Amino acid sequence: MKLNAIIVEDEANSREILKNYLVKYCPNVALLGEASSIQEGLDLIKGNALDLVFLDVEMPFGNAFDLLDQVPERNFETVFVTAYNQYAMDALNNHAAYYLMKPINIDELIKAVDHVSDIVSKENALADKVLTPKLKSVIGKITIPQQDGFQVLNVSDILYCKADDNYTEIHLEKKKILVSKTLKYFEEVLTEFAFSRIHKSYLVNVNEVVNYKKGKGGSVVVSNGKELLVSASRKKEFLSYF
């Protein structure tokens, strides 16, 4: 599928190199424009229906994160392109789909484009359809430790789990239970069931997802109406359930 994209990069030589690589190695990317500043980038974002933005981190009069702060509702994926690896965590927190280091490695560029293409294709295929998860078993029980013993829960009754430092909140339809176990522990325990780690803070019962929203990393709404963020790095894995 074609990906409508722009490049936001203040160095003309870097823009030219990336553009030439995309033309030669990523023919499914349709470049709609280039920007050399934050304001030019904002104008292109607001004026086009985009799937992908290649975004340099360091630019005059601000940086990539300043630009993204001005686009709270995003329907595009972001690939950061930078010579500075210290921005990796900030990029992750801003829901980057991929992080490319300069000088750009062609194989990594192809991987980045393929990764975004897979996500966008899946999102488009699921749009306006009744979601039917390709579920593994949701029938089973789990024991929750308590001071005086343990509680037994049906796995299917768990809507989602939320990290709280070294504790985990287990959210049921009408209550939550705080357990002195990490979210990683429950991710491993529930691995044979239809639970997806959608974010560093959330593990969701896929069968309870009633809505999926694009934007930034994206988000899901579960059956009790709670909206949970989906990390860009975990979006592809989550969408594979459907």
- The 3-class SS string of the chain reads CCEEEEEECCCHHHHHHHHHHHHHHCCCEEEEEEECCHHHHHHHHHHCCCCEEEEECEECCEEHHHHHHCCCCCCCEEEEEECCHHHHHHHHHCCCCEEEECCCCHHHHHHHHHHHHHHHHHHHHHCCCCCCCCCCCCCCEEEEEECCEEEEEEHHHCCEEEEECCEEEEECCCCEEEECCCHHHHHHHCCCCCEEEEECCEEEEHHHEEEEECCCCCEEEECCCCEEECCHHHHHHHHCCC
* pLDDT for the residue numbered 151: 86
**Are residues 166 and 228 located together in one domain of the fold?**
yes
**Are residues 111 and 157 located together in one domain of the fold?**
no
* Digitized pLDDT (tens) for each residue of the chain, 242 residues in all: 899 999 999 999 999 999 999 999 999 999 999 999 989 999 999 999 999 999 988 887 778 788 888 887 788 899 988 887 765 556 555 567 888 988 999 999 999 999 999 888 888 776 655 555 655 556 788 888 877 788 899 999 999 999 998 999 999 998 999 999 999 999 999 988 889 999 999 999 998 998 888 766 678 999 999 999 998 878 888 888 87
Instruction: Give the pairing type, strands 77-82 and 52-56.
Output: parallel
**Are residues 12 and 115 located together in one domain of the fold?**
yes
**Are residues 8 and 112 located together in one domain of the fold?**
yes
* pLDDT for the residue numbered 144: 85
CA–CA dist 170, 228 (Å, integer): 14
* pLDDT for the residue numbered 89: 56
* pLDDT for the residue numbered 138: 64
Domain boundary among 81, 98, 126: 126
**Are residues 117 and 61 located together in one domain of the fold?**
yes
**Are residues 13 and 104 located together in one domain of the fold?**
yes
What is the CATH classification number for the domain harbouring 104? Answer: 3.40.50.2300
* pLDDT for the residue numbered 177: 93
Is-above-0.85 flag for pTM?
Answer: no
Q: What is the tally of structural domains in the chain?
A: 2
* pLDDT for the residue numbered 241: 83
**Are residues 51 and 104 located together in one domain of the fold?**
yes
**Are residues 114 and 150 located together in one domain of the fold?**
no
- In this structure, the dihedral spanned by the alpha carbons of residues 42, 48, 50 and 52, taken in order and rounded to 10 degrees, is -40
* pLDDT for the residue numbered 95: 61
Domain with 188, as residue range(s), is 141-239
